[in-house]
Amino acid sequence: MSMILEVEKPLLELENKIKELKEVNLTGRVDLSSEIRLLERKAEQLKKSIYENLSAWDRVLIARHSVRPGTLDYIQALFTDFLELHGDRLYADDPAIVGGLARFEGRSCVVVGHQKGKGTKDNLARNFGMPNPEGFRKAGRLMSLAHRFRLPIFTFIDTPGAYPGIEAEERGQYEAIASNIALMTELGSPIVTLVIGEGGSGGALGIAVGDRVLILENSVYSVISPEGCATILWRDASKAEQAASWLGLTSDKLLRLGLVDEVLSEPLGGAHRETENVFATVRGALRRHLGELLLSTPAELVTSRYAKYRRMGVVLEQALTP
Amino acid sequence: MAGLFDKFRVNRPKVDQSRSDETQRAELPSDLWIKCSDCGNAMYRKVFLDNSKVCDKCGFHHKLTAHERLELLADPGSFEEWDKGLFSGNPLGIEGEYLEKLVSDRKKTGLEDAVLSGKIELTGIPVGIAIMDFHFRGGSMGSVVGEKITRMLERSGDLRFPALVVTSSGGARMQEGMLSLMQMVRTSAAVRRLNDLSVPYFCLLTDPTTAGVAASFAALGDVIVAEPRAIIGFSGARVIEQTIRQKLPPGFQTSEFYQKHGFIDMVVPRSELRATMARLIGMFAQPVLESPA
């Protein structure tokens, strides 16, 4: 197993111990099977107690982990005939957002998602999954294509945020995000969005306006990064851990506030373990939600999407007193 | 305060007694003087206010309150407030100063939250308007701001009033977490509804207009106007500097920068704003205000 969190350390040690004992046991010189069973039971309990008490910050670390499945992993596992399409027809192709045509359960669709890199070199090429305006514009182009041909749209969310750079600003980062958000509220295609890792603020939302917004249990979705929040509130980025619990960015809190429609459970320890199980869970959820959405006409989808977002807000008729 | 913005004196000649004013300065109570936050020029408060808070030396446009903005733009007495009595909640259960700051900002600004909305007339043309106020929690957009802007846009659509949003905001309100991010969707969806109804929608970007506000309704105007030298952009300058480890070029992320790069139609000084907005909105008034056959 690969360790992500400090709290996993004792579990990792125990699992190594079990492995050693099993090797000794295989030699047949001593019978250790009852000890192994005991330790395995203990490991199972430890696993539960660790992963059922993850802090918001633990989940941020899991969501960001480099071995967590990314958009291309999901495309490969759940879609067939993927044809990656490139470029925004205006300026460039952005490798931080991938997209194209594919089949889901035999049905043609458009799939779009943020893509982080695997390893340093790939990460540099993909700008750590932080899109430039051309990434959002490419996504917008592909989603418009889907609309015209009534293809369903799947989007996968996994970004630290939109790239903060000089050229990104020159080319209108804010405009690119705004246009996509507005566009997605008007598309007649069913849109299913899944937050697979990090949902970093506007850079995530730029491709995340869906009829259904799903989130994996250990994914996070936040208005600002915990580091950014800590810097603004306490002028100290190292208080990110505190900010993470403050921001309400975990899947359970998002569900409670009605900001996501369903939380998809992960294997204990995260989606990078037992990935086949994760893919099966995601496939089932995508199939179910798409099936429901396909019962609506394009006009009905637009109307109900408007109503869905129209409800999002907490507004009181009286001022709160401190 | 009435008549504060009746006359504009951006290029007004220096008053004769300015020298004697200078000599008296030490004895004057400090609230009689205002320092330009850009060039440091010291101005008489009255001159500064008569000049609608534009520095008479360097032309820097200081932030207006929502009420001052209203007075600058609206025909006198034409404002009718919409959606009063909406207050922010505390959906994340934030402890500490946040709730106290809401109370003190309410007192300070006379507003219930960071936006004032309603109907004005602009040279007789009815206009749905929402004015953000940076003095209330940095103009940050939480549920109430999103709700009031969305309602204003919806109502303007129903009434076939052209709609105008005056932005001044650092972005989303962190204290409401993801609820505030979702305000970007509701407001943008409401803009698209206006588009579908062929009701014109205008943005007036003032200092500052950044992050979640820039990246939603502020970017979606049929015509986008900005005040000179307003800070506009998605990412904060400090964040960009830390990311790329370079100094930013002068004039980066200003109105003029974004006009040059093709994202803003007009940069209009405050002294000409009312007349320009009236001309602009007037262009759309006739065909739109007639009810569709």
B98 and B223 together in one domain: yes
- The answer to whether A247 contacts B174, with C-beta atoms less than 8 Å apart, is yes
Which ranges of chain B have pLDDT less than 70? 1-30, 286-293
Decide if A162 touches B, using CB distance below 8 A: yes
B137 and B213 together in one domain: yes
Angstrom distance (rounded) from CA B203 to CA B192: 14
Q: How many residues does chain A have?
A: 322
- Chain B: residue whose CA lies nearest to A182: B188
Decide if A222 touches B, using CB distance below 8 A: yes
Q: Using 50, 70 and 90 to split pLDDT, how confident is the model at A238? A: confident
Q: Is there a domain that residue B12 lies in?
A: no
- Taking CB atoms and an 8 Å cutoff, what residues of chain A touch B243? 163-165
Q: Which domain holds residue B32?
A: 21-62
B104 and B37 together in one domain: no
Q: Is there a domain that residue B9 lies in?
A: no
Tell me the nearest-neighbour CA distance from B210 into chain A, angstroms. 8
- Chain B: residue whose CA lies nearest to A319: B87
Task: Please state the pTM of the whole predicted model.
Answer: 0.92
Decide if A69 touches B, using CB distance below 8 A: no
B265 and B126 together in one domain: yes
Alpha helices in chain A (DSSP H): 9-26, 33-51, 56-64, 71-78, 120-125, 133-148, 166-170, 173-184, 201-205, 226-234, 240-246, 251-256, 275-293, 298-310
Q: Which helix (H) or strand (E) holds A223?
A: none
pLDDT for res B290: 56
For all residues of chain A together, what is the average pLDDT?
Answer: 95
Beta bridge partners of A315: B88
Number of inter-chain CB pairs under 8 A, A vs B: 195
Q: Is there a domain that residue B13 lies in?
A: no
pLDDT for res A29: 83
B220 and B210 together in one domain: yes
Q: Is there a domain that residue B15 lies in?
A: no
B48 and B83 together in one domain: no
B106 and B213 together in one domain: yes
- Taking CB atoms and an 8 Å cutoff, what residues of chain B touch A234? none
- Chain B: residue whose CA lies nearest to A209: B185
- The answer to whether B174 contacts A179, with C-beta atoms less than 8 Å apart, is no
From B146, B216, B248, residue closest to A166, measured CB to CB: B248
pLDDT for res B4: 42
DSSP state letter for A315? E
Beta bridge partners of B288: none
- Taking CB atoms and an 8 Å cutoff, what residues of chain B touch A198? none
Q: Is there a domain that residue B90 lies in?
A: yes
More confident residue, A12 or B277: B277
- Taking CB atoms and an 8 Å cutoff, what residues of chain B touch A185? 185, 188-189, 192
Cis peptide preceding A133, ω within 30 of 0: no
Q: Which of B62, B85, B114 is the last residue of a domain?
A: B62
From B91, B181, B257, residue closest to A205, measured CB to CB: B181
B48 and B127 together in one domain: no
Decide if A307 touches B, using CB distance below 8 A: no
Q: Which of B7, B35, B62 is the last residue of a domain?
A: B62
Strands A262-264 vs A220-222: parallel, antiparallel or unpaired: unpaired
> Among residues of chain A, what percentage have pLDDT more than 90?
82
- The answer to whether A229 contacts B174, with C-beta atoms less than 8 Å apart, is yes
- Taking CB atoms and an 8 Å cutoff, what residues of chain B touch A209? 185
Please name each of the domains of chain A with its CATH number: 9-53 (no CATH), 60-311 (3.90.226.10)
B283 and B258 together in one domain: yes
Q: Mean pLDDT over residues A143-161, rounded? A: 98
B70 and B54 together in one domain: no
Q: Which of A90, A81, A88, A143 is nearest to A113 (CA)?
A: A143
Write out pLDDT tens, residues B238-290: 899 988 998 999 999 999 999 999 999 999 999 999 999 999 999 997 644 55
Tell me the nearest-neighbour CA distance from B11 into chain A, angstroms. 32
pLDDT for res B3: 40
From A174, A257, A313, residue closest to B147, measured CB to CB: A313
Q: Which of B29, B62, B95 is the last residue of a domain?
A: B62
Q: How many CB atoms lie within 10 A of CB B29?
A: 7
Q: How many domains does chain B have?
A: 2
B126 and B235 together in one domain: yes
Q: What φ, ψ does residue B21 adopt, rounded to 5°?
A: -60, -45
| Half-sphere exposure for A25 (CA within 13 Å, toward CB) | 13
Q: Is there a domain that residue B8 lies in?
A: no
Write out pLDDT tens, residues A68-121: 999 999 999 999 999 999 999 999 999 999 999 999 999 999 999 999 998 899
- Chain B: residue whose CA lies nearest to A185: B189
Q: Mean pLDDT over residues A160-175, rounded? A: 97
B256 and B114 together in one domain: yes
Q: Is there a domain that residue B2 lies in?
A: no
For the complex shown, is ipTM > 0.85?
yes
